[in-house]
A and B are shown apart, each in its own frame.
Chain A
Amino acid sequence: DTGVSQDPRHKITKRGQNVTFRCDPISEHNRLYWYRQTLGQGPEFLTYFQNEAQLEKSRLLSDRFSAERPKGSFSTLEIQRTEQGDSAMYLCASSSGQGGNSQYFGAGTRLSVL
C-alpha cells in the first residue's frame, strides 16, 4: 500500500509525558499537513509543510506542539507535557500540489492522555 502511513495507530500516555507521532506521506507528495480531530468535529488544521519548510502553523497551537519534516520526506509531530485536552485523533495528509491539490489522509494516530 503506497498511501499515507501514520505510526502509531494508538497511543496511551500519562499527563505530563511527551509523545511523538510519525507520518510517511505518499512518496512524490511535497505538501504535508497535520490536523487534530476530536469526536464529532471536523479536522482542525495544525501545521503545513512544503518540502522541508514549515510554511503555516495554527495560531491556536500551543508551543508544546512542534513538528518537523527533515529532508522533505516523513514528518514528526511532538507534544510535550501532554494534557488531557490533547486527547484526540491526529491526522496527517499529503498532496502533490498539482491540479486540484487532492489531499490524501492517513488513518490517524489516536492519542489518549490519562
Chain B
Amino acid sequence: QQQVKQSPQSLIVQKGGISIINCAYENTAFDYFPWYQQFPGKGPALLIAIRPDVSEKKEGRFTISFNKSAKQFSLHIMDSQPGDSATYFCAATGHNFNKFYFGSGTKLNVKP
C-alpha cells in the first residue's frame, strides 16, 4: 500500500507560471514532510520541508502548503523557470526519521 500518493504524474507550465504538485498521506504518525528535486542522472536534493504544526512554509520561490485535517500537502513553485524542469518527489516520515516514504514523482516541464 502506497503511504504517500502524489499527483499529477507530469506537469507542463509556461515560464513565469505557478507549478502546483499535490500529495496525500494516511498515517497520522508522520511528522516531517520534505520535498525533493531530482535531475536526470543525479540523486534527489532536498528543496524544502515542513512539520505539521505549521500550515505554510516559504523559501524563495518554493512554498509548501499543509492541511493537517485533510492529510494533504502541496508544493507551489512561483515564477517557474526552465531550470526548474525536473522530477519532484514528496516524502513523509515519523518523528524518529528511521524510514522515509516517497511519492511516485511529478515530472515538471517548464516551457520557455
Checking B43, B99, B101, B103 against A105 with a beta-carbon cut-off of 8 angstroms, the contacting residue is: B43
Tell yes or no: A79 within 8 A of B by CB.
no
Checking A4, A41, A42, A48 against B99 with a beta-carbon cut-off of 8 angstroms, the contacting residue is: A48
How many cross-chain pairs have Cβ atoms below 8 Å apart between A and B?
A: 57
Separation of A100 and B43 alpha carbons in the complex (Å): 19
From A13-21, A62-70, A90-98, the one touching the partner chain is A90-98
CB pair B44–A101 under 8 Å, yes or no, is no
Q: Main secondary structure on chain B at its contact with chain A?
A: strand
Checking A43, A50, A97, A102 against B46 with a beta-carbon cut-off of 8 angstroms, the contacting residue is: A102
Q: Which chain A residues numbered 33 to 47 have a C-beta less than 8 Å away from chain B?
A: 33, 35, 40-45
Q: Chain B: how many interface residues by the 8 Å CB criterion? A: 22
Query: B104 to chain A: which residues have CB within 8 Å?
Result: 40-42
Proximity bits, A97-112, B CB within 8 Å = 1, else 0: 1001111111110000
Residue of A with least CB distance to B91: A42
Tell yes or no: B41 within 8 A of A by CB.
yes
Query: A101 to chain B: which residues have CB within 8 Å?
Result: 32, 97
Q: Chain A: how many interface residues by the 8 Å CB criterion? A: 28
Query: A97 to chain B: which residues have CB within 8 Å?
Result: 97
Proximity bits, A60-86, B CB within 8 Å = 1, else 0: 000000000000000000000000000
CB pair B98–A42 under 8 Å, yes or no, is no
Nearest-Cβ distance from residue B37 to partner chain A, whole angstroms: 11
B residues neighboring A (CB under 8 Å): 6, 32, 34, 36, 41-46, 49, 89, 91, 97-105
Q: A101-B97, A107-B41 are in contact. List 14 more A-B contacts (CB 8 A).
A: A4-B43, A42-B6, A42-B104, A42-B105, A43-B100, A48-B98, A55-B98, A91-B44, A97-B97, A100-B32, A103-B46, A105-B36, A105-B45, A107-B43
A residues neighboring B (CB under 8 Å): 4, 31, 33, 35, 40-45, 48, 50, 55-56, 58, 91, 93, 95, 97, 100-108
